[in-house]
Amino acid sequence: MADTAVGKNTDVIPFGAGTFNYGATIGTDGTLTSEGTVFGATKGGGKVSIKPNLVPLDFDCRNVKAVGDYVKAGEEATMEAPFTELLAADVAKYLIGTVTDKTTAKIVESSEVVADGHYIKGLAYIGRSASGKKMIVVFDNAICTSGIELEGKKAEQGAPTVTFECLAAAGTTEDKLPWHVIWPK
């Protein structure tokens, strides 16, 4: 039997500190071919959540759940991070807005529709274990579902938490999301 204790099995990688990136790509062999671009510094780390939506089947003939009594009915995948710095283009993406570059300022204003530029391609969390080994999560498609809420306090740095939701490709007929958790060898 294989030893599965943390630190003994090379497939065990605890999530550690990392970065959130746009434009990450994965090769057909499962390797990260591009880390994309790091966006915004975070305060206090971030969170990745991937959960199947399970529906329990009920049977009148028994009072306990058994193997085979669940059906997967879709799934949810999100990334969440408190950002302490944001670019105007990112704020526009998170608020479903547009950026206008004026002589004295960049102005972010609301958009009436969700446009292609509001979607994020290759959203990635790229972290490292205590031993320095990479741990990578990539969403092929994502959108910010939280908007931005900022609470300003005296003598404290603001850090609005932004939540991104993984999305299937337009026109898909599959009941699964395009997320990838990668353990490099």
Which tens digits make up the pLDDT trace of 144-154? 999 988 887 78
- The pLDDT of residue 15 is 56
Mean pLDDT to the nearest integer, 62-91: 88
At residue 36 the predicted structure's pLDDT band, cuts being 50, 70 and 90, is very high
Q: How far is CA 86 from CA 21, 41, 82, 121, 159, in A?
A: 13, 8, 10, 18, 10
Q: Is the pLDDT of residue 30 over 70?
A: yes
At residue 128 the predicted structure's pLDDT band, cuts being 50, 70 and 90, is confident
Q: Is the pLDDT of residue 72 over 70?
A: yes
Q: Is the pLDDT of residue 138 over 90?
A: yes
Q: Give the residue extent of every domain in the chain.
A: 20-182
Mean pLDDT to the nearest integer, 131-137: 82
Percent of the chain scored above 70 by pLDDT?
90
At residue 104 the predicted structure's pLDDT band, cuts being 50, 70 and 90, is very high
Task: Evaluate whether 102 touches 84 at the Cβ level (below 8 Å).
Answer: no
At residue 18 the predicted structure's pLDDT band, cuts being 50, 70 and 90, is confident
